[in-house]
Structure 1
Amino acid sequence: MITKKNPSGDSVKELVARHLRAADILVKEGSLAEAVVQVERALEIDPKNYYARSFLDRIRIQQSKAPKTPATPEPSKPSMEDRKIEQISLLLRTADQLLVAKNYKLARQQVDKVFAIDPQNYYAKTYAERIAKLSEKEPKESSPSPASVSPPEARKPQLPQPEIDAPRWTPGERASVAMYRELLKEMWFDGKISDGERKELKKVRDLFKITDEEANELEKQVQIDAYVEALRIAWRDGAITQSENDVLVMMREKFNISMEEHLSAEAKILWAKNAPRAKSILLADDEPTLLLTLATKLRGHGYEVLTAESVEKALELLQQSTPAIIVSDLLFGEAHLTGIEFYQRVRNDARLQNVPFLLMSGISDEFVVRAGMRLGVDSFIQKPFDLELLLATIEGKLKS
């Protein structure tokens, strides 16, 4: 029996997915206004959900292209929105060429120009993440030394985890291909791709010169991974209550997976069924690029990550779920609460009193650090910091 309750951290994804599935059906029926309502409801639950934001953008583009009341035909002029899209496309193509040339600094400048036009642009965020990853690797590849080689990591997952959520960037892979992979993940996350989504993918392939062979190979990988991820979530949330075989048949149909493909992914499916639930981290920082980069790296180490660009947003997320640990910046701008105020509110909530709280800051004043520690902050991490130090601190606090 299903009882109605406030969404917990575990059910937020399912609630969002439910609204997005409803919106997808409405789009296919041509009810674009009603589809927008469903996506907006999903964003009320999870305002940072990139899938929902991107879906809403696509619906609005379809609305803008929908035939209006017949009027006297006028010579077509590119709208402000069309010019903006064309400018963004040109900047991203330039960034892609600079990435191939390994000119990461100039590539990042092109991406920053996109952010200036559209701060929430999904593709720009993917490029920024890719540039950060390549820039980080570059010094290690150019000046390796035996002394700098770290010993094998002790922190290994207990089960070999197949790559499902983590970006599958491979050496030499173009950023545009990596971006296309992420777009495919977005469109496959709730099942078969619609005809409208197919048209959008075709536009992206043409724009970034992605071949049909590359696209087909990427889509098959993403399709199977989306299927396995859907099964993992269903098993984790206890959504599978009927005969398991019946559910698998239904899911194969939903994701257009043949029995042969199902069998080829058997190892991933077995992992999805038995995988332990990842510990969650609430990460709060007002620098979007740093937030995205840290979240990606932490997810790559097996954590579930919730992100917030302000203390106020972080407090909203805490009403829905209880993370294993909180990592927050110290300062968030004049109009927002500080990390210290965030810490005090967390400690005043009986439900969160035992959740470890780490503060990050670029302020090197030892008096500020000592003041925070006296208040009871579990640890104070100085920016810029080494990712390994952050991981070690997080793991140490989770074990204590």
Structure 2
Amino acid sequence: MTTDRVLRILIATDTYPPDVNGAGYFTHRLAEGLARRGHRVHVLCPSERGEPYVTVNEGVTEHRVRSGRIPVHDAMRFALPLGLSGHADRLVSRLDPDVVHVQGHFTVSRAAIGRARAARIPVVLTNHFMPDNLYGYVRLPEVFHRATGALAWRDMVRIAAMADHVTTPTPRAARLLLEKGFARQVEDISCGIDLERFHPRPEERTALRAEFGLPDRDTIAFVGRLDVEKRIDDTMRALARIVPERDAQLALAGTGQREQELRDLAAELGIADRVHFLGFVPDEALPRVYAAADCFTIASTAELQSIATLEAMSTGLPVLAADAMALPHLVEEGGNGFLFPPGDISRMAELLLEVLGSPERRRSMGEASRRLVARHDHHRSLERFEAVYESLLVSPPVRSKVQRTMAA
């Protein structure tokens, strides 16, 4: 630990496993990582069952609050507002945490911030939010995206102003928050990656492909939700262009609303036998998916960091990524991979051929990925969060009149 004291930490989040998304995974790994470092960690989050309950997992006490289904997102639930503030109030009073760390600005996070402010407990807020990730579910006409996005950002900035310390996963995400009107310093702290858990093992590649039912051929991997903002159809179209030249396939690990559309597209493109839907892969098996692949692709344009890309890099894979949002932070052009203009299928196909065409190039790029990802070691991220918590306890920030009014 970077601190000598055992901290009482309450993490409030509107998404937590079994939810499948980057924010949920980050929060889960943060909570368990802090608990392993000796801290007393509690998580306030929606119940995946609907009814509230309390349980302990890996040293983390989970306080699951009553929830309902999100109509536009089958895989997630939201905390029901009725009674939530009282629940958060009682929990904060009972636990008396040293710090409250919220993971956004939605229902659970708002309730926790309000109770923490009233109790004069320091608040850290980490932003994982981008309106772009919601458009595929809400199905608003594109003409309304700018207006609704502006309103969503304004709301997010208002809530973030109530926190004592605000973080984001990357410098680009920090700049984005400032561009949207946040008026104070934002610190970028990587989501982090377990370099020991995700590691190269090329000698096992053939056996791991067999484990997942994959033919032993050049394998492109994508891990994540099969939803519209991930733009997996771009990768499939690029694959269709290179198949006449390369014996390649795409392995998709994840589930989502677009799965049937993607299956139909694979058939339409004539590559149904080369696109493998692995479905939901349990967390313990996830490292083996990356190890079964030759490279990793991500065509999304709405990533504030991309934990999946970090995992692929840690496994020693070359990365092909869209030149958008925070993904350029993870790709050293020509070093550990390549960037392509979003939606440029031709360029994506060219780069896939370049990476897959040379085993030596693949190996050197994979080694570069492993070197570059070292700066994202999750131990460093945990240490930095500990230091942030400690600084707020040693020198509590002076809150402005505006902040006090908002908290009330």
User: Which protein, 1 or 2, shows the higher relative CO under an 8 Å CA cutoff with sep ≥ 6?
Assistant: 2
TM-score interval (norm. to shorter): under 0.3
TM-score, length-scaled by structure 2? 0.24
TM-score, length-scaled by structure 1? 0.24
Q: Which structure has the bigger radius of gyration?
A: 1
Between structures 1 and 2, the one with greater strand share: 2
Between structures 1 and 2, the one with greater helix share: 1
